[in-house]
Amino acid sequence: MTHRGRQNERGQVLVIFAGGLVAIIAVAALVFDTGQSLVDRRTQQNAADAASLAGARYLPTANGTYQGDCDDRTGAQKASAQLQHVNAACDVAEAYLDAEGIDPASRIITVKVPPGPESQFSNLPGHIEVQIENTRPSIFAGVLGLANVHTGAIATAENATDLTLPYSLLSLDPHGCAQSKITGAPGSSIIVGGSIHVDSDCSPDALLLSGNGAVDAPSCDAVGDIQISGGATGCDVQAADVQVSGDPLAGLAAPAIPADLGMITLEPGETKPIPNSCTFLDGSASSAITSPPGACTFGGAFDGHAYRMWPGYYPSGLQLNAGMFYMEPGIYYIGGGGISTAGGGASMRSVDAGTQTFGGGILIYNGDFPDDTYCAGGVTTGCTGDMDFNGSASTIEWQAITTTKYAGLIIFGDRDCSPECGNITLNGSNTTFDLSGTIYAANSLVKVNGSSTSSFAIQAIVYNFQVNGSGGTLNITLETDGLYHLKGVGLVE
């Protein structure tokens, strides 16, 4: 019995060995092939980064478009001065991969000017995209049926020495339906100087035109569909295969909290002191504020009185319901609470330093209090607040800041809060506006409401926009000299 049992066990070691060998090979495939893939991808990423930067050096002086494989260039294209950016990118990528021993037969180098839909900077001028793909035989994974391993990398660089964006209204919401819209009452005329573009892929109404007004713009584009309802007219020609723009200012860092608090002082001859809620605004060190002190509030009793505002940190926001406020040039950092002129008619004017003359240049950064404790668990005292310019007989005269890397920006909204936070209302039916500059609020809804005749020299790069013509003419001009200009050569993706 014992001898016969041992005979039945013969061959089991071979089976166990074979199973173990498969497991060993699988582990080897994981270690060697995956490790080699990581090395390959890093090589490709380095090559793509270097190639896109090399090509960006020749933008925008070389402005030819190209969408394809470097190997597909014709002799004429390789000699073209207008494709110097493409040729530089191809040459650098090829030289880098050659030096790393990457077989030309196994690789594909693709250059796109402007970038393609796989890039968040799709179709944006002043940008160049480089993709590198490579296929190589597997080391051990072939035993498991994976004969080849494919890897790839992508890089996008910009040369935005002095580039203005062509948009008047740019919506960044990727999927919103009827969230960006233009509405006109009967007889309304909404004139938009620059392009209208919506990133949403929604069908049927990524962009909704409704009511009975007429929209006049150089172009209306949406990744999804444009729906026109009621008696609305405009945006009749809808481009096909519209690409996502993405956030063109995604690489622009937000301002840091200023070292000093803001300050509000009495104008010469003014005798009415500032309210008690604002007395902490004395230009002292902002680090002394460890919890939100509450909004600085000017109530109706301040109507007819004049004050001067200074750049700095304004924690808990501003509620300016009455009074005249002359704003010295610089950055005003709102640390939660937003800004409101929704009361009795406060007026705010950016001025040349030391004067009451409209000019100067300001940037309003609308953020939150740095300690998240005050915007969590139902506590909202430090949250990013709305900017509501909707007062009775208010006047808002702002010119964008002209210095620092933010030159041309007039409002910069917090990018870290949830979409549609820190919303901005510009209500022309009750407020007179003289605004010039770029409103950049990638997570905010911006509402622009016109009345009999309203004009805004603004560019809105926002999460969503809602434009309403109330029976008159609403003119959103595109005055590029006063807008934000992209600057510098560098990687953006």
The rounded distance, in Å, linking the Cα atoms of 256 and 106 is 47
Q: Regarding beta strands 148-159 and 127-137, do their DSSP bridges make them parallel or antiparallel, or are they unpaired? A: antiparallel
Distance CA 482, CA 438 (A): 8
* Separation of alpha carbons 66 and 108, rounded Å: 15
Regions in the chain scoring below 50 on pLDDT:
1
Report the C-alpha dihedral over residues 250, 242, 456, 450, rounded to 10 degrees. Answer: -120
Compute the distance between CA of residue 249 and CA of residue 440 in angstroms, rounded to an integer. Answer: 8
Question: Residue 473's pLDDT is what?
Answer: 79
| Amino acid identity, position 330 | G
- Given this model, what pLDDT does residue 103 score? 87
Q: What angle do CA 175, 178, 182 make, to 5 degrees?
A: 130
First-last CA distance in the chain: 74
| pLDDT recorded at residue 62 | 73
pLDDT of residue 491: 77
| Per-residue confidence (pLDDT) for residue 32, from 0 to 100 | 61
pTM, to two decimals: 0.74
Q: Where are the alpha helices (DSSP H) in 132-216?
A: none
Q: Provide the pLDDT for residue 453.
A: 65
Q: Quick one: which of 380, 397, 488 has its CA closest to 159?
A: 488
* Residue environment code for 200-234, b if the CB has 16+ CB neighbours within 10 A, otherwise e: bbbeebbbbbbbbbbbebebbbbbbbbbbeeebeb
- Strands 339-340 and 387-389, by their bridges, are parallel
Separation between Cα atoms, residue 63 and residue 302, nearest integer Å: 56
Cα–Cα distance between 85 and 55 in angstroms, integer? 4
Give me the pLDDT at residue 245, please: 77
Q: What is the pLDDT of residue 231?
A: 83
